[in-house]
Structure 1
């Protein structure tokens, strides 16, 4: 059968899609990039925000209409939405539902659905030998590598621990075997993934850690750069910071969500640090890794957030000067503590105003920080080409750079001189390739 997979949400969902596509292709199915060519459509879903959930529900409705018209045969749901509302999705018309930790069973579930069975499969199929799985990678030079599944933090606003389950680390040997295969296939950059990537190895209780994994992976011939996402502040160790500082292949980039600058709101969120502790961590990283790029996340309009709370967030954003700031308006997620016990009492228009204030502030910060790049020569790997014919890539600090060149290869290492600054990407001229 011809199968089209639509992916929503985070990089872990992208990685899961690559695994499902690889398994299905190995079983003789054809993965297609065009919905109009598909017999089967799988929506790999995200529920971290109400907007994400609304998107896939809207897509499901459109797909069921196409199925009724005979344009497609089966519609399946995978990912976090499957875990959250499996029964409802089947009632709505989905033919099969596959949990976020059940993706290894995708071919079996599809076969059952094709025989006419309505299937809900939520069992944990994550194994200790993930490196042997077939995958359909979206990039030839970069690969996502999930090293830990789940999260134990239970922030009051977050549905992830309920949909992805508790933390479960892959054995280091298995991860390294996957990285070695990737290097042999020509991959030069890898990103280690986890809902809480810094917790990697804690559950194994054998001394395994993210820092040790980075050092081991960097020894594999062909691997040139190593990234990791996403970090929880109190799980970032001195060992990890020192590793990023000393290992030339470790990207000098930390993504550390702060979520709020108000200690009162942080307590309500069950974030296990204060604004002062977060600032101390950022200061420590910048002292040990002077060239480090630090980005963050903020949730605007959490229940009971006052103007004073918001201004405390504004203040810490001004003080810490993040290279990038992902902003989201709070939306209640059914099943979370915040949804159950806290009233969503910040008016929508207030949330939007606060969001826009932070957006404008971050634009100013971005432009100021980007000015440091002017006339500098940076090294990057070519990631692709825009519709306007510009090549692009990112440096070791995760800064996106666009430039003109002719006939470059994806994954090629180049040097680019920065000639123009914006609040977003940088623009430059090719120095050498």
Structure 2
């Protein structure tokens, strides 16, 4: 059995694990496809997500589909790993016996030996990229020490564990040698990086060192936490041209009452002052945040306060999740899920409608300016790229006519000629570059 299909569900942190697993398989001579549209491997490995209700349902449906294929003899082996498997392994084993073996979030390396091979530790910092070859995700830690009421991640991943800086630098050098130019720095909590192994926040030092790796041109930061945010990273961002003026920092809410119920360990005033300081120290920075509507106890007044905050703050990037009542979280044990699902969704939709207007107005201000853009792909008559203010898959894209002479994976100066809520249009402009 030399053909394997690897299916990845959920976030980019899972994707990194899948890429490491694929590298191991390929080193043993397997032919591996990632997320194929028509899976035909003798072996299928599903890397699951177990974060919130919708993600769990999607993972379970995928497992059931392949379990049926296993029963019909269309595949010979079926393995499941990842967050859902970590969280519900006993129940899954009982309910879906067609799966040959379930692995958790961290013991997936056993799969290599279960297939009769040895894990290649000399390849531990190497991956087979599933992203376009010019960008990659770099996971700098696992786990989380926060105790947010709604979040099941610490139940799945355990406490925060930073990856040593030397290992991350080696991994980055390997990625750069493969042609990677752009790093998306990811973790469950960037703000905590280094506190466990270096006894102090080390995100700024890490980012500065990563920027020195030859070939890396852009570094972007994802999933920071406002409480205890390491402000020295702002100095690196402001002074180092390789560090994008972009920060993904989930705030979840702004009402002091809700922040307390959510166990966020930060106040409304502290949040507003932090945002002001970030924007002052890094002029032009694009902030991405995520919010939750319908957390237990959220009143109309709380929601209106959140809505007004979004309207006033004008985040460049924003997403909203209706609250999901997750088993064994603090909220599950201590709060009644008292906001109806339709209200949760209505509130989320209201904020996204507001954000659509904000995003449109901010994008309109980009018309006539020229930005450095990296080209990701070609589709539907356009080359599709991103500015330094845009992360793959979640942020606006720049559309350039396919008649222009550009190459995927390269940087170009692009003059913006039109803008919609979430997309920009432009043409190559090498004579008039400005940001």
Q: Say whether the fold is shared (TM-score over 0.5).
A: yes
1:395 corresponding residue in structure 2: 387
2:50 corresponding residue in structure 1: 47
* CA distance, structure 2, for counterparts of residue 89 and residue 2 of structure 1: 25
2:393 corresponding residue in structure 1: none
* CA distance, structure 2, for counterparts of residue 22 and residue 130 of structure 1: 8
| Residue 103 of structure 1: how far off its partner (Å) | 3.1
Normalised TM-score (structure 1): 0.92
Matched, 1:7 2:8: yes
1:257 paired residue among 250, 254, 259: 250
* CA distance, structure 2, for counterparts of residue 238 and residue 68 of structure 1: 54
Structure 1 stretch displaced more, 23-32 or 292-301: 23-32
Structure 1 stretch displaced more, 423-432 or 242-251: 423-432
2:189 corresponding residue in structure 1: 196
Give the secondary-structure state (helix, strand or coil) at the position aligned to 1:107.
helix
| Residue 156 of structure 1: how far off its partner (Å) | 1.1
Alignment of 1:238-257 (within 5 A): 238-257=231-250
1:304 corresponding residue in structure 2: 297
Give the secondary-structure state (helix, strand or coil) at the position aligned to 1:252.
strand
Q: Deviations over 1:251-310 (max 9, x none)?
A: 110111111121111111111101221111110010000110001101111012110011
Give the secondary-structure state (helix, strand or coil) at the position aligned to 2:227.
helix
Unmatched segments (≥5 aa) in structure 1: 113-124
More helix by share: 1
Would you say the 8 A contact 1:227–1:250 is kept in 2?
yes
* CA distance, structure 2, for counterparts of residue 383 and residue 308 of structure 1: 43
1:108 paired residue among 110, 113, 131: 113
Give the secondary-structure state (helix, strand or coil) at the position aligned to 1:357.
helix
1:420 corresponding residue in structure 2: 418
* CA distance, structure 2, for counterparts of residue 38 and residue 390 of structure 1: 33
* CA distance, structure 2, for counterparts of residue 208 and residue 89 of structure 1: 38
Unmatched segments (≥5 aa) in structure 2: 391-395
Q: Deviations over 1:34-59 (max 9, x none)?
A: 44311122221112110000011111
| Residue 130 of structure 1: how far off its partner (Å) | 7.5
Alignment of 1:31-430 (within 5 A): 31-32=32-33, 33-91=36-94, 92-93=96-97, 94-111=99-116, 132-205=125-198, 209-386=202-379, 388-398=380-390, 399-405=396-402, 406-430=404-428
Aligned length: 418
Provide the aligned C-alpha RMSD in A: 1.9
* CA distance, structure 1, for counterparts of residue 338 and residue 289 of structure 2: 25
Closer, same or farther in 2 for the Cα pair 1:242/1:345, shift >3 Å? same
Give the secondary-structure state (helix, strand or coil) at the position aligned to 2:243.
coil
Q: Deviations over 1:185-228 (max 9, x none)?
A: 21111112110012111111265611111111111111101112
